[in-house]
């Protein structure tokens, strides 16, 4: 995105990320959960955050629906708005990681190029977590009743129905919520993090 502001200069701070991480006794990262609606992103992320909290880790969970109630309430679901939604979340996630906090972001984020921009923004601190679940299973679950509405034409540009979802090519972690139970999914992520 083109920067519109002029005459601005980055201000270096005295307290840096490494100081905050030392104070918190943890290494901050961004766990970027991606997958179809109904795949279990929020469920797994919430269980992971609880487990990390029990381990004494400081976390923050950014959930797609919750963010659209505030920060991104001005965005719809056009391709342009989805791209801007993910761009903003990437920037917010970067700030939270810089605060020394383990950040968990759960967003459908259907486009590979948008996820790659976040990876470029965060570098080695970006951990892509693919919540793998077939469309048919997500439709059967349909916790919000939105697949039914999309199939009936009540919702346009719905990911997996009339808007594409591009599976990650090389995610750091893949959990299959249709094959494994919740604890197994969380265990796999914790094992990768090596906490």
Q: Check whether 42 is labelled as a binding-site residue.
A: yes
Q: Check whether 27 is labelled as a binding-site residue.
A: no
Q: Check whether 38 is labelled as a binding-site residue.
A: yes
Q: Check whether 35 is labelled as a binding-site residue.
A: yes
Catalytic residue among 28, 93, 105, 109: 109
Rounded Cα distance between 141 and 126, Å, is 29
Q: Check whether 16 is labelled as a binding-site residue.
A: no
Active site residue 46: no
Contact 44, 186 (CB under 8 A): yes
Q: Check whether 41 is labelled as a binding-site residue.
A: yes
Cβ count near 168 (within 10 Å): 19
**What separation in angstroms does the CA of 14 have from each of 18, 28, 75, 143?**
11, 19, 36, 46
Nearest to 128 by CA among 84, 77, 189: 189
Residue numbering of the annotated binding site: 35-42
* Residues involved in catalysis: 109
Residue numbering of the annotated binding site for ATP: 35-42
């Amino acid at each position: 995105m083109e920067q519109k502001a002029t005459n601005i200069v980055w201000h270096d701070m005295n307290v840096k990320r490494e100081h905050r991480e030392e104070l918190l006794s943890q290494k901050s990262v961004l766990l970027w959960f991606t997958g179809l609606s109904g795949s279990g992103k929020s469920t797994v992320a919430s269980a992971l955050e609880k487990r990390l909290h029990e381990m004494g880790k400081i976390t923050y969970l950014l959930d797609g629906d919750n963010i659209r109630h505030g920060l991104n309430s001005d965005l719809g679901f056009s391709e342009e708005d989805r791209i801007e939604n993910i761009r903003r979340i990437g920037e917010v996630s970067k700030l939270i990681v810089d605060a020394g906090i383990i950040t968990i972001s759960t967003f459908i984020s259907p486009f590979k190029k948008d996820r790659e921009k976040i990876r470029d923004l965060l570098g080695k601190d970006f951990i892509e977590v693919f919540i793998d679940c077939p469309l048919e299973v997500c439709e059967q679950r349909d916790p919000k009743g939105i697949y039914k509405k999309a199939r009936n034409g009540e919702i346009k540009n719905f990911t997996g129905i009339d808007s594409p979802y591009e599976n990650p090519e090389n995610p750091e972690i893949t959990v299959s919520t249709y094959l494994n139970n919740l604890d197994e999914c969380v265990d796999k992520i914790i094992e990768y993090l090596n906490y």
